[in-house]
Structure 1
Amino acid sequence: MTGWSMENMTQAQLWIYRNQDEVRNQRWYVDLMYKDSGMGVYHLRNALSNKCLDRRLDGSLDNGDVVQQYTCNNSSKNQQWRAHMIPQQTGDTNLNWVRLENMSDGRCLDVTNASHTDGAKLQVWDCGWAWNQRWNIY
C-alpha cells in the first residue's frame, strides 16, 4: 500500500516484490468467502493494515475506478474478487495465474497503463487476458 498507510481509501499500487518481514504492506491474506460457479470468491486483506482490497464506488461503475484499501465488510461486493484461472501459454511455467474479477460489476483488477514501474496505481478495467491483469494469489 502507498506509504505503508493504515488509512481507509489509500490507493493500491504496484511495487517490486520484496520477500522480507519488514514489507508486510506487500503481503496479503487471501480469504475464501464462498464459491461462485465453481470459482473462489475472496477478500484480499493486507497483512499490515488488516484492511481489504476495495474497488472505490463513487457513484457510477466505470473503467478506471480506483482500487484502494478499506475496512473489511463481508457484504460489500466491491471487496469481493472472483479468481478466474488463466490458461497456460506457450513458454509460461507459472500454472497459477488468475485474473481477479470484482463482484460489483465484473471488471478486473488492472495495473494502470500496463505499467511495470514502482508506484503504478491499481484500478479496475474490462476483463481481458493481458499481463497487467494477471495475478498469482496462491
Structure 2
Amino acid sequence: MNPTVINFNGDTTKAVAINTISKLENGTPVQLSFAVDGQASQRWTLNRGPTKVKLNSSSDPEYCLDAGANPQNGTLMKVWQCYDNLPAQAWYYTGDNRIALEGQGFCLDLPNANATDGQTLQIWACTTGNTNQIWTVPTAVPSPAPSA
C-alpha cells in the first residue's frame, strides 16, 4: 500500500501522527493530530491483515508503530526503529478497521474517547464496537487507464 493518512473513526480532520515537536527517534510519541495536511509525520504504510505500521519518512533507520516490550492496557504508543519478527511491531489491520497487536488482544486506542489535538494514543483490550479503536484510511482512487 502507498503511504496514507490513518484517520480516527472515519473523521478526515483527525489523523495518527508523530509528535513533530520531538526529534524523530526511538520513543517519539504517536498522537492524534487535528492539522491533517498529509505531511510525513502523518503518513503511514500498512496493509489489511498482518502488517507493520511504518512511518513514511526518509529517515534511516525506518520507524514503526511500537507497543513496547510489555504491552498492557494503557501502554502509550510510540515509534521505534523497525525490526523484523518483533512482537511489539506485529499489527493486524482488521476488516472492521481496528489496528490490533497481532495475537495479543490489544488494539490501537484513543484514551477515554479524548479526541483532543496532541492526545497520545495507547493500546487497550480489543472490544468489538468500541469506537475509540476505529481507524480508517482513505479509499485509494484508481489510476486512469493509459491512453492509446
- So what's the TM-score if we normalise by structure 2? 0.70
User: Per-residue deviation at 1:7?
Assistant: 0.6
Q: Given the superposition, is the C-alpha separation of residues 122 and 29 from structure 1 closer, same or farther in structure 2, using an over 3 Å criterion? A: same
> 1:137 maps to which residue?
137
> 1:16 maps to which residue?
34
Q: 2: distance between equivalents of 1:10 and 1:54? A: 10
* 1:76 partner letter: L
Provide the identity percentage.
Answer: 30
User: Per-residue deviation at 1:100?
Assistant: 1.0
The two structures, once aligned, show a CA RMSD in angstroms of 1.8
User: Per-residue deviation at 1:17?
Assistant: 5.0
* Match of residue 71, structure 2, among 30, 44, 61: 61
- Structure 1 residue runs without a partner (length 5+): 33-38, 87-97
Pairs aligned (count): 116
> 1:124 maps to which residue?
123
- Structure 2 residue runs without a partner (length 5+): 1-17, 139-148
Alignment of 1:42-53 (within 5 A): 42-48=51-57, 49=59, 50-53=62-65
- In the alignment, is the contact (CA less than 8 A) between 1:78 and 1:104 conserved in 2? no
Higher-Rg member (1/2): 2
- So what's the TM-score if we normalise by structure 1? 0.75
Alignment of 1:1-138 (within 5 A): 1-3=18-20, 5-20=23-38, 23-30=39-46, 32=47, 40-48=49-57, 49=59, 50-57=62-69, 60-86=70-96, 98-103=97-102, 105-128=104-127, 129-137=129-137
